[in-house]
């Protein structure tokens, strides 16, 4: 099944074209300034879409409504692509879009519409980073301790240290 693509204006990169089916909406906030939307002069929207791989697209706009606007009036559009798992980045992007469209209250509404966080479940494992030089030093130290012979290290711990050293060597690319 082929769907129509939607074009999204981005703030710090060229526009994106996406399939709404592959990027379903997970949160939104909309408002207009008329009694009914079809008579509004202005329309505001903030939307969050999420791909199956976890990336999020946060975008929004201030556009003219069917009620018309003064000559020379200009709207605003913007968007940000947020890395998978960056929940704080999603919230920051929503707040940035609210600034672009000049409606901070809409950020609160959109954030409140995001999927809830469950604290009872364990979170994703922490990702630890360190400079490669430090990782190589740690690897050398693990190798030295694990292979130091009968120096009082329990053989079980030496085996475990060797396994950790092998994992680290795979990550940093060698010994």
Phi, psi for residue 166 in degrees, rounded to 5: -65, -40
Return d(Cα 12, Cα 64) in angstroms, integer. Answer: 23
d(CA 5, CA 21): 9
Q: Tokens 């994992």 map to which residue?
A: 167
Cα–Cα distance, 7 to 79 (Å, whole number): 11
| pLDDT for 99 | 96
Tell me what pLDDT residue 152 has.
63
pLDDT digits (tens, 9 = 90+) for 73-123: 898 999 999 999 899 999 999 999 999 999 999 999 999 999 998 887 776
Confidence at residue 131, expressed as pLDDT on a 0 to 100 scale: 79
CA distance readout (Å), 28 to 45, 121, 140, 175: 7, 25, 51, 49
State pTM to two decimals: 0.65
- Give first-to-last CA distance, the chain, whole Å: 50
Residue 39 has pLDDT above 90, yes or no: no
pLDDT at residue number 168 = 76
8 A C-beta contact, residue 34 and residue 56: no
Side by side, the strands of the sheet bearing 42-50 are 25-32, 42-50, 56-64, 76-82
pLDDT tens-digit map of 124-171? 677 777 777 777 778 777 777 767 766 667 777 777 777 777 777 777
């Amino acid at each position: 099944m082929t769907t129509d693509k939607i074009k999204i204006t981005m703030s710090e990169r060229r526009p994106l074209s996406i399939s709404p089916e592959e990027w379903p909406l997970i949160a939104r906030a909309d408002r207009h300034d008329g009694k009914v939307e079809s008579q509004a002069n202005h329309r505001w929207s903030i939307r969050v879409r999420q791909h199956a791989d976890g990336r999020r697209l946060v975008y929004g706009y201030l556009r003219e409504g069917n009620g018309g606007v003064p000559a020379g009036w200009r709207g605003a559009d913007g968007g940000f692509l947020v890395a998978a798992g960056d929940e704080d980045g999603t919230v920051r992007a929503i707040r940035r879009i609210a600034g672009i469209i000049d409606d901070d209250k809409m950020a609160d509404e959109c954030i409140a519409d995001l999927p809830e966080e469950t604290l009872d479940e364990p979170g994703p494992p922490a990702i630890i980073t360190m400079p490669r030089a430090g990782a190589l030093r740690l690897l050398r130290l693990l190798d030295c301790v694990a292979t130091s012979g009968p120096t009082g290290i329990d053989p079980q711990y030496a085996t475990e240290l060797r396994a950790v050293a092998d994992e680290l060597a795979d990550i940093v690319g060698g010994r």
